[in-house]
Structure 1
Amino acid sequence: MSSQLLKGKKGIIFGALDERSIAWKTAQSAVANGAQIVLTNAPIALRMGKINELAKECNAEVIGADATSDADLDNLMQKSMEILGGKVDFILHSIGMSPNVRKSIPYTNTNHENFLKTLDISALSLHRVLQAAMKADAINEWGSVVALSYIAAQRTFPGYNDMADAKAVLESIARSFGYHYGFAKKVRVNTVSQSPTVTTAGSGVSGFDVFYDYAEKMSPLGNASAEACADFCTMLFSDFTRMLTMQNLFHDGGFSNTGVSARIIEDMQKAAGQQ
């Protein structure tokens, strides 16, 4: 979808790993809508992913930055403004990783050192990004910061493990920092709670395939795709959402407001009849 919503705007996209990632799709959508961007990810992700392909497609430069490093983020803000010729208008935070999930450690037997890493990478990194941006005065007034979240921040999904706690912290940071940044610079900060999406990160969650099918059957509109989420983020970067801040926005085809669907009831009845 291209309508030049972001013509003349500049932004930083965190977290594009490969063509399946929402950050990758958002970078494409932003550029298609007229934006200039800088791409960034952790050094290890730059080596493992395909970000240079995306950079070539989007005519964007890549700046390596560990989102848990204040020094890296300070450098990112300064270099981004140099490359783009001024302050940015939007930032996408698409960062998340849990060592406990990767190692299949159950939530009730969590390794707390891993838990702290999960919180630092997946949630506190948003605070660090916002703090670095504010310190550098890197975002124009009426700019927009969007961080990707998930409904596990509000409801329990066992396989999501300690990432659920991280998303709850992430959403709280968006509200708290959004208050301060709004009064200081009219910068708005929101989170997007996306449907389960087939990405490299999402597919690593235990039982993802089963839950993806369940969410598809529960949601009146079906699961929202990565492309649809990217276009939604583009709208949130635009001037059409200037008065929207400190919100967690469900982009999930109606899943968050559906108690149970007829399709799920039918599946339950079939299963009961087979027993």
Structure 2
Amino acid sequence: MYNLLKGKKGIIFGALNDQSIAWKVAERAVEEGAEIVLTNTAVAIRMGTLDELAKTTHAAAVIPADATSVEDLENLFTEAQKALGGKIDFVLHSCAMSVNMRKKRTYDDLDYGFLDKTLDISAVSFHKMMQVAKKLDAIAEGGSILALTYVASHRTFFGYNDMADAKALLESITRSFGYIYGREKQVRVNCISQSPTLTTAGGGIKGFDGMLDFADRMSPLGNASADDCADYCITLFSDLTKKVTMQTLFHDGGFSNMGMSLRGMEQYNKSFIPENTDENGKIIYG
């Protein structure tokens, strides 16, 4: 490895199991020389395998925190600094959940109480996290804060539902808070817009297997894996990216700039039934 994070201290939100992007980021951060604190909700810690990750990464602490609770966040940043022996150099926000999606409510039939929860957990929690950290002066000068997003914040994807609104808000918070944090503390705030990735959370999206395959066929480099994403996160936590902030950085094999790929068109053509072809098997359009 490259010791890119040697001497740095970080907090990783949202690791649940070894499929989680946050789990992979925690492992890579430690491989690159960092010391970390792990956090998730108390329920997620009980249901998941975070203690296992804590052992393998020699985490300084596992601190339960509801990312939507200002009180929990205040305790988290206070205790994390004690456990790590200083200010925090990097933070990963990997918190997202839609009750509407879980309850199979379509976008034109949302439960607005559920929508409030989606926005709070998946986006507003990012603002709460940074506001608490800034008031406590918990982030070291030149620190790096990252959140995970998806291209549905910019474009419509069937089945992504109110999570698209949450991701759009998340990216707006990144820009607005990134300006203030950068101006006052030289702290960087960015989003990584990741390929659809096979995680516990991703599996709850309607038609996710199709999204995964479609993105892979459309992307010239193919989908970026959770391990690939972890590598990218490490570069953004490191001192190599000191002047990168307020950005939504696409990490998707080129998907976000594609219209139609050869592989995508070939698969699309295969979907035509015989009635749409002439005697030579060519597709009849229009």
Which residue pairs with 2:278 in the alignment?
Answer: none
Letter in structure 1 aligned against 2:194: Q
Structure 2 unaligned runs (5+)? Answer: 276-286
Which residue pairs with 1:65 in the alignment?
Answer: 65
| Counterpart-to-counterpart distance in 2, 1:7 and 1:204 | 36
Residue by residue over 1:45-81, the C-alpha shift from the partner in whole angstroms, topping out at 9 and shown as x without a partner, is 1111110000000111100000010000000000000
Letter in structure 2 aligned against 1:114: F
Number of residues paired by the alignment? 274
TM-score, normalised with respect to structure 1: 0.99
| Counterpart-to-counterpart distance in 2, 1:3 and 1:233 | 14
Report the structure number with the largest CA radius of gyration: 2
The answer to whether 1:101 aligns with 2:101 is: yes
Letter in structure 2 aligned against 1:5: L
Q: Secondary structure at the match of 1:17?
A: coil
Letter in structure 2 aligned against 1:116: D
TM-score, normalised with respect to structure 2: 0.95
The alignment yields a C-alpha RMSD, in angstroms, of 0.7
Residue by residue over 1:24-64, the C-alpha shift from the partner in whole angstroms, topping out at 9 and shown as x without a partner, is 00000000000000000011111111100000001111000
The Cα shift of 1:219 comes to: 0.3
* 1:135-146 equivalence runs, <5 A: 135-146=135-146
Letter in structure 2 aligned against 1:31: V
Q: Secondary structure at the match of 1:105?
A: coil
| Counterpart-to-counterpart distance in 1, 2:252 and 2:83 | 35
Residue by residue over 1:111-130, the C-alpha shift from the partner in whole angstroms, topping out at 9 and shown as x without a partner, is 00000000000000000000
The Cα shift of 1:249 comes to: 0.2
| Counterpart-to-counterpart distance in 1, 2:267 and 2:67 | 43
The answer to whether 1:90 aligns with 2:100 is: no
| Counterpart-to-counterpart distance in 1, 2:81 and 2:272 | 60
Letter in structure 2 aligned against 1:120: D
Which residue pairs with 1:11 in the alignment?
Answer: 10
Letter in structure 1 aligned against 2:6: K
* 1:111-260 equivalence runs, <5 A: 111-260=111-260
Letter in structure 2 aligned against 1:68: T
Structure 1 unaligned runs (5+)? Answer: none
Which residue pairs with 2:31 in the alignment?
Answer: 32
| Counterpart-to-counterpart distance in 2, 1:274 and 1:224 | 35
| Counterpart-to-counterpart distance in 2, 1:167 and 1:190 | 13
Which residue pairs with 2:281 in the alignment?
Answer: none
Larger deviation, residues 79-88 vs 265-274: 265-274
| Counterpart-to-counterpart distance in 2, 1:241 and 1:58 | 24
Q: Secondary structure at the match of 2:272?
A: helix
Extract structure 1 runs of 4+ deviating beyond 4 A: none
The Cα shift of 1:178 comes to: 0.3
Which residue pairs with 2:20 in the alignment?
Answer: 21
| Counterpart-to-counterpart distance in 2, 1:274 and 1:81 | 66
Q: Secondary structure at the match of 2:189?
A: strand
| Counterpart-to-counterpart distance in 2, 1:89 and 1:147 | 15
| Counterpart-to-counterpart distance in 2, 1:67 and 1:238 | 24
Letter in structure 2 aligned against 1:150: Y
Residue by residue over 1:205-264, the C-alpha shift from the partner in whole angstroms, topping out at 9 and shown as x without a partner, is 000001100100000000000000001001000000000000000000000001110011
The Cα shift of 1:273 comes to: 5.3
> Percent of pairs identical after alignment?
60
